[in-house]
Structure 1
Amino acid sequence: MPNETEPIIVGGSAKTDHLCVLLWGSPKHMQNIAKSLRSHYSWDELYLLLAQRNSGSLTYDGIELGGERVCAEIEEELRSITSQGGKITKLSIVGYSMGGLVSRYAVGLLYAKGILDTVECMNFTTFASPHLGVRSPLKSWHNKWSNFVGSRSLSMSGRQLFMIDKFRDTGRPLLSVLADPASIFMLGLRKFKRHTLYTNIVNDMSAVHYTTGITKTDPYHRNLENINVNYLKGSKDVILDPANPIVPQPKLRSGASVMSKVLHWTVPTPLMYILTLCSPIIVVVFLCNSVVQTIRSSGRIKRHEMGQAAFSIDQYRVPLLIKELRRDVEIAYDAPNSSQNPDFLSTEDEDDGNNEGPQERSLMSRERRLSTPTQPTLALTADQFEMIRSLDSLKWRKYPVWIHNHRHSHAAIIVRWDKEAFGEGWVVLNHFADGEFLI
């Protein structure tokens, strides 16, 4: 583990030819990823940029505006390095949480502007990023209610993450366009040599496994007591072996299983009492803050669209689709944010009204036929199933992560704060910096 008192060193020397951009809302939350990379690569080997144009409440402004800000920031940094006598020939991008989506948008803009043709694209990495959005899988009323409230609580970002937006003149959700094989975003991503993602398998209430792992199943949901996990050698029981992550356990006697479930639901804990008492207050505070932030965000977006931003938006409003997209719903997918209580497709399910047109109905029918009792398919939308197929064509190196010592695994996976309980996150960061990062 790096020295806690050692300052975070960003930037690089004039000899550095490799720029790595670290991206989320707050640069402070990305400092330990930077610290881990710097402990492996010197100033002469790697130039580190902690993107900061989307700090704080600016994350409410949406993926598009966030991506434009980051693209402008990267361009400015490249010009600054050149003016100081340096020359960047390699580029890597690391995104955390929603920063992974913003970075995918920025990559598309860099591709459209020809910048990716001037560098060797090395690593594109995400940590706990909701590539498929954060909507709960369909069917149950509480999932639909959660989607309704959540999508209207986070300004433009909420609408895009819950996929209820219509992006520009496409008539489709932005996340769907981001994963379109014919889009500048996917064409830009394809230029990177290595695509890596780290996904929490438990306790990530912000972005659960199906969306951060780009998968239509979740073998870890409510099932960890029934499986053995295979850990990656040398990962200190934190990172699962991506080639063979789980092995089913022998079934326990039904009586023992029933008793464990009874105890689970009948033995109260102090945390349960606290949550019961505080939930109404928390909900009111959250909704009030959401209203304030939504109003502020709407004003920023309006000023940006009127050309009152720090940079001209005209150079970033480029054509999104390079060629006509041809959907082939008969091709099986190579490979779902759900709530912690997702629903699954079954062969008896009827179309729920969220999928229109023969192509979407055919796709959903196929997914229902392919769903099995041992690995049931989550009740995703037709858009999400197509997104999985497209994104998986990039052949991601997917690393499931099991954080045991803290229930806030979304923060622990990158050691957002220097606290002892987040120590398992250093295993993840060192694995990335030492063996996964191409220099």
Structure 2
Amino acid sequence: MVNYHLVILVHGYCSVWGNSSHLAYIEKQLIENVKPDDGSKLLVYKTGSHSGYLTYDGIDVNGKRITDEILEQTQQVRENGDTVTKFSIIGYSLGGLISRYAIGVLLKQGYFDKIEPVNFVTFCTPHIGVSKPHTRNFSVRLYNNIAPHFLAITGSQFFLKDKVGEFSKPLLVWMADPNSVFYLALKQFKYKSLYANVVNDKRCCWFTSSISLTDPVNSLYNKFPQNITAEYIKGYEPNVIDASKPFYFEQKSKEQTYGASSRRGLFWKTLNWCKLIGTIAIYAPIMGLSFVVSSIYQRIQTLNRLRHFHSEKSNNLSHLYEYNENTSLFTNLSNKLEDEQDTIVEDMYGAMNWKVSHSSSNFPPITLDDSQKFAVEKLNTLGWQKFPIILRHTTATHAGAIVRHADPNFDEGKVIVGHFVENVFKLE
């Protein structure tokens, strides 16, 4: 009989292109470099039941879907006469939130009664949502109110616009509550770690990916890696920042600083919007109209899928809210479009947040709402290892951090994944 350490990899949200191949590089590195010396074996499995537009269906629904996959994999091991004795889960982007939900379901079902939870790791995960912190900026407030509608159920949960249970809290807030099964499940893992970009990942910027009340790296505004002052973990420099030492934003870029005067500020704001509009115009035939149309269509499809999902008694989730890869021409095109989509989103944030400060002590502080503050406070009681990361060779840092696909500009992501495999992932 063989004892297995089951390792689950959960990919994130990326519209029609979101799929398990995004985690192929991490999978390969784990299989090739992690060798248990106690006679047990590592079994690495990438989930796929939430691929593509299914990510629209919600963190909860997709959490239940991957729970079913985990149980199926566990059962297959048992049918072969072996057993799963240890369990780890690694989530990327939205996959980190889906993973947090799934382990709550597993705990409720008694999965961890005989299986030891070891590693819980997230890469670039918006733990407290993706809504922008409070601001008087009209375009930001408009974005926060409109964007959720294009991402169906998941969008509402991302932006904390949903309500679950009789207490009417957003799902992400409830998942951070010490009385919830999701918090209790996370608490059981021996090692909890996260990786967070410090630059050019504004959809999943520092305050949410690192679960922080502050933003010392000015991640909402800064887009130049050279403006980050930090020391690095030996052997992984200059990509994995040593969080035990001071790291912060410090204006060093020779690029023109915005906001020096109202006239110059208006000029740069207009220039940013012109750049954004020009970029959208170029890619509109592929992404523009199709995105709006598909968002409407997929919202209808999502409602139909959810109606069918909730019609099955085994998919009742209400009890959880109680206190207690092959390369092809199409693949290459899809990867390019994914990266361009990431870049356009970054440009949107840049256009909205045009006023940048001159010094590390003078940039606008972030202001989280009470729900976000609550989630940060409670999640930080769990004892995370936090690893700030910085990529300089690409602006698509959200994708580059895990080497989402083969791209020479993602070479620094290999350093980050190497750090994870060699230092963070534990067997005991």
> Smaller-chain TM-score range?
0.7 to 0.9
State the match for 1:197 in structure 2.
Answer: 194
Contact 1:89/1:118 (CA < 8 Å) preserved in 2?
A: yes
Q: What is the number of residues matched between the two proteins?
A: 381
What's 1:328 paired with?
Answer: none
Equivalence for 2:341: none
Normalised TM-score (structure 2): 0.80
Matching residue of 1:78:
74
Kindly provide the amino acid, as one letter, of the partner of residue 23 in structure 1. Answer: V
Q: 1:178 to 1:247 in 2, by over 3 A?
A: closer
The residue aligned with 2:2 is 15
CA distance in 1, matches of 2:156, 2:248: 38
Alignment CA distance shift 1:67-1:410 (3 Å):
same
What is the TM-score of this pair, normalised by structure 1?
0.78
Distance 1:141 1:226 in 2: 27
Q: CA deviation at 1:183?
A: 0.2
Q: For residues 419 and 245 of structure 1, do their structure 2 counterparts lie closer, same or farther at Cα, with a shift above 3 Å needed?
A: farther
CA 1:118–1:320 in 2, change beyond 3 Å: closer, same or farther?
Answer: farther
SS across alignment from 1:393: helix
In proportion to residue count, which structure has more helix?
2
The superposition leaves residues 50-103 of structure 1 with CA deviations (integer Å, 9 ceiling, x where unpaired) of 111111111000011001111111111111101101111111010001010011
Instruction: Kindly indicate whether residue 119 of structure 2 is the aligned counterpart of residue 126 of structure 1.
Output: no
CA contact under 8 A between 2:280 and 2:288: conserved in structure 1? no
Aligned to 1:236: 237
The CA distance in 2 between the partners of 1:283 and 1:71, in whole Å, is 34
- Distance change (3 Å), C-alpha of 1:419 and 1:378: same
Equivalent of 1:164, from 149, 161, 164?
161
Taking only aligned residues, the RMSD between alpha carbons, in angstroms, comes to: 3.3
Distance of 2:180 and 2:154 partners within structure 1: 20
What is the DSSP-based 3-state SS (H/G/I as helix, E as strand, rest coil) of the residue aligned with 2:394? coil
| Structure 2 equivalent of residue 208 of structure 1 | 205
CA shift, 1:189, in A, is 0.4
Using the alignment, how far apart are the partners of 1:248 and 1:318 within structure 2?
A: 45
Q: SS at the partner of 1:17?
A: strand
Q: What does residue 397 of structure 2 align with?
A: 409
Identify which range, 15-24 or 414-423, moves more after superposition. 15-24
1:183 matched residue in structure 2:
180
Matches within 5 A, 1:16-415: 16-24=3-11, 25-42=18-35, 44-139=40-135, 140-221=137-218, 222=221, 227-246=228-247, 265=268, 274-275=278-279, 277-278=281-282, 282-307=287-312, 312-314=314-316, 316-323=317-324, 339=349, 377-415=365-403
- The structural deviation recorded for 1:339 is 4.9
- Secondary structure of the residue aligned to 1:284 is helix
Contact 2:5/2:88 (<8 A) preserved: yes
CA distance in 2, matches of 1:155, 1:101: 16
Q: Return closer, same or farther for 1:231/1:82 CA change in 2, 3 Å cut-off.
A: same
Q: Is the 8 A contact 1:242 1:399 kept in 2?
A: yes
Contact in 1 for aligned 2:217/2:249 (Cα 8 Å): no
Partner Cα distance (2:276, 2:181) in 1: 47
Contact 1:22 1:94 in 2 (8 A): yes
- What runs of 5+ residues in structure 2 fail to find an aligned partner? 12-17, 325-345
1:216–1:377 Cα contact (<8 Å) kept:
no
> Identity, % of aligned pairs?
31
1:259-301 CA-partner distances (Å, limit 9, x unpaired)? 9997994997996684264476654332222111111111101
Partner residue of 1:366? none
User: For the residues of structure 2 that align with 1:343 and 1:271, how far apart are their CA atoms?
Assistant: 13
1:211-270 CA-to-partner distances (Å, cap 9, x unmatched) read 111112212224565552212111131111111142676x88x9x968999799499799
1:320-339 alpha-carbon deviations (Å, 9 max, x no partner): 2335xxxxxxxxxxxxx995
Contact 1:231 1:240 in 2 (8 A): yes
Amino acid at match of 1:20: V
Give, in whole Å, the separation in 2 of the partners of 1:394 and 1:161: 22
Give secondary structure in 1 for the equivalent of 2:204.
coil
Deviation of 1:158 (Å) = 0.5
Question: Hey, what's the Cα distance between the residues in 2 that align with 1:38 and 1:245?
Answer: 35
Structure 1, gaps ≥5 residues long: 1-13, 324-336, 345-371
